[in-house]
Amino acid sequence: MAMKTVEEDEVGISCFISDLPGFRGILKQRYSDFIVNEVDRDGAVVQLSSLDAPEEELESVQENGTNTSDTVVSYASRIEAFKILAGEPDAILLEEFVNKINAGGEVSVSPIVLSPDSDKSHRKAVHNFFKENFKFLVTDVVDGPDASLKCIRVRLNSAEPNNKGKNSKKRKERGDKPFDSRGSENWPENVGKFLRFHIYKENKDTHEALGVIGNMLGIQPKSFGFAGTKDKRAVTTQRVTVYKQRASRLASLNKRLFGIKLGDFCYVKEGLCLGQLMGNRFTITLRGIVSDSEDIIKASADALGRLGFINYFGLQRFGSGSLPTHLIGAALLRGEWKLAVDMILDPREGERSAIAKARKYYKENNDVVGTLKQLPRYLVAERAVLQSLKTSPGNYLQALKSIPRTLRLLYIHSYQSYLWNHAASKRVQKYGTEQVVLGDLVNCKENSTAKITEFVGSEYPEDCSGGYDSSNQNEISVDIHEDINSCVKVVDAEDLNSGCYTIDDVILPMPGSRVKYPTNHIANVYEDLAKKDGISLTESVHNVEEFSITSITGCYRRVFQKPINFEWELLTYSDSNKQLVETDLEKINKSAPTNTVKPIDVGNGKTEEAFDCIREFESSDDFPKVENFKDIAGEEVKLPHGESLCDSSSQDSHTALKLSFTLPASCYATMAIRELLKTSTSVAYHKTLNQ
């Protein structure tokens, strides 16, 4: 039986701050209706302002590691020269081949075969070109498609003096790389080893976008660093770092990238790590507003800015579609490995027919190999589990551990979030939203804001040692420093009398071994829910640390969150396809000379349809995006027939509400919009708007 989509009340999302009535609107009718700009730790909003590489380029680097500014031609220039000699197709093939070698693929990279060539003198010229310009490569001749044609084969020169042999795998011994990469010494000492740039993307997931760029550069995904993932169905701008790459090389990709632009390049000493951001700046446009009066909209918008919203973990925290990640997390905490594997692989409601067919096939036949042939590669967890079961049938714990660590830990974090949401709802139901009460947990006033933010505002680790892995999804670790409780206290009678704490200071713990719990009735919510699920918050029933609540430190989260620098505006429009807010790229186009920069369009001449983006537009940077944007189609969302507020006599005039605000990392924009509209954020609910 297919699992059903998770509803809000199932994961503890049930309360609102204000009692104002809601209204209806179309969310992300166009993906440009949802614009996200990262905010760095200095509070600066990250924007795409230039697509050009810096004027001063790095010194060219010789193959032996010495620098020169005059005598050595860069490999990009050599490939350009090869294009003149052999043609563009072979030049592209050569560039990709060299990039693969640079990415660390000396051992596994396969030779390339150039286009058939019947001209012997031309073939000789090609051989000589490689001898002079690519000493780490060798060429020979192989038969072409018929007897009159020959092809030049190009492969890595295993006899090169600096090459330690085909079977050498030690990175420090790889002294013949054509480009610098991790472990290479061939980089100017006076230049930062990381290139930082701003990536602008439209309707693309962060991991997918970096995967595309990595393929074009021929480098491993772990070479990239970033502070957090951004939404797929949106227009987003964020910072990225890459190890030892030239700005000019990345800037040259812009003409070949679709839906992605790179710019604002600079060299820095350190790469970005997850969590190194203050938050995100959102510009959200709700189209097709339908309400009984304009006053309701104005009052609701004012209330959101003044009162904020309950800082719930949104539905996306608990899985895309119908994947019940908190239930999987509960099974892991109980040590029920087979049950957890079954939930990961079982059929689900609402999936594409090909995936549903593959899941059903496995459920009925238990054929691992046959199922792997049917499952798409972007189903990371499912494929990892099946690959493990293929080699070790019946070893379900090993299968679970084969899932990328950051993704499998999210199952545990999802269960923590499930408990937190229920505790937050109970706090609102029992004690309201206006006053601090006895036994509440709050941030200590004597601690600095910076220190408090360390434990309350972010759940990201800052461990860059492992790099970025495209198969791993965004890690939200709650294992934090030993003094986690130094900035948290329980409210006592003296605190209440002094009035030094307000409702904005109230926090609740994410369960772990080192957190405090409130000393009022809210503490019972954690214990009662966990007990109902057969889980102890103080003892582990197994010795697998990463799946044990007692091995997780825990952290704290603010119960009520106000949008920062909140602004709103009512707009009138008649064309649903009209862009209502300028993107970063459009601002560049306005200031750039004619035809310098081409705008990104939807493609195929198609107009975007209204899209139910609720499940995908979370403000948080904390849930894995394992869906491939090429395979997931939008779902149309239409409002019931109704007149526009601005002109009830015209069917062509519509009202939109533009919202601009900043949220700290790990806060969900869906929860802010939920407070405004007073409607569920579940996909199932929004599907009813089509009926």
Give 577-599 pLDDT, tens digit per residue.
Answer: 888 999 999 999 887 664 444 44
User: Taking Cα atoms as reference points, which of 186, 193, 277 lies closest to residue 242?
Assistant: 193
Averaged pLDDT, 100-121: 77
Produce one character per residue of 589-606: b if its CB has 16 or more CB atoms within 10 Å, e if not: beeeeeeebeebeeeeee
**What is the pTM (predicted TM-score) of this model?**
0.70
CATH superfamily to which 412-447+477-558 belongs: TruD, catalytic domain (3.30.2350.20)
CATH (residue range 194-277) = 3.30.70.3160
- Does position 26 have pLDDT exceeding 90, yes or no? no
- At residue 184, the 3 state secondary structure works out as coil
Higher pLDDT, 70 or 30: 30
Average pLDDT, the chain: 79
pLDDT at 74: 56
* Alpha helical stretches, state H, 432-549: 449-456, 493-498, 522-532
CB 159 within 8 A of CB 153: no
- Does position 367 have pLDDT exceeding 90, yes or no? yes
- Percentage of the chain surpassing pLDDT 70? 75
- Does position 113 have pLDDT exceeding 80, yes or no? yes
pLDDT at 297: 94
Kindly name the residue from 176, 180, 205, 231 that is annotated as catalytic.
231
pLDDT at 205: 81
pLDDT at 408: 86
Question: Within a 10 A sphere around the Cβ of 513, how many other Cβ atoms?
Answer: 15
DSSP one-letter string for 408-468: HHHHHHHHHHHHHHHHHHHHHHHH-SS---TT-EEE-TTS-HHHHHHHHT-------TT--
Residue carrying the six token digits 């510009």: 283
- At residue 523, the 3 state secondary structure works out as helix
The one-letter code for the residue type at 370 is: G
User: Taking Cα atoms as reference points, which of 690, 510, 625, 517 lies closest to residue 226?
Assistant: 625
User: Among this protein's residues, is 231 annotated catalytic?
Assistant: yes
Question: Within a 10 A sphere around the Cβ of 37, how many other Cβ atoms?
Answer: 23
Residue carrying the six token digits 């490569």: 137
Which regions of the chain carry the CATH code 3.30.2350.20?
A: 412-447+477-558
DSSP one-letter string for 278-300: -EEEEEEEEEEEE-S-HHHHHHH
- Does position 381 have pLDDT exceeding 80, yes or no? yes
Q: How many CA atoms lie within 13 A of 504 on its CB side?
A: 8
Which regions of the chain carry the CATH code 3.30.1370?
A: 85-100+112-155
User: Taking Cα atoms as reference points, which of 306, 318, 193, 170 lies closest to residue 243?
Assistant: 193
- Does position 372 have pLDDT exceeding 50, yes or no? yes
pLDDT at 332: 96
Produce one character per residue of 211-244: b if its CB has 16 or more CB atoms within 10 Å, e if not: bbbbebbbbbbbbbbbbbbbbbbbbbbbbbbbbb
Averaged pLDDT, 287-309: 94
User: Taking Cα atoms as reference points, which of 269, 275, 181 lies closest to residue 222?
Assistant: 181
Q: Where are the strands (E) in 377-475, listed by range?
A: 441-443
Which regions of the chain carry the CATH code 3.30.70.3160?
A: 194-277
CATH (residue range 322-403) = 1.10.1510.30
Higher pLDDT, 147 or 512: 512
pLDDT level of residue 144 (50, 70, 90 thresholds): confident
Which regions of the chain carry the CATH code 1.10.1510.30?
A: 322-403
Averaged pLDDT, 621-627: 38
**Fold observed for domain 85-100+112-155:** Ribosomal Protein S8; Chain: A, domain 1 (3.30.1370)
List pLDDT tens digits, range 548-558.
988 888 899 99
pLDDT at 156: 84
CB 610 within 8 A of CB 656: no
Produce one character per residue of 178-194: b if its CB has 16 or more CB atoms within 10 Å, e if not: bbbbeebebbeeeebbb
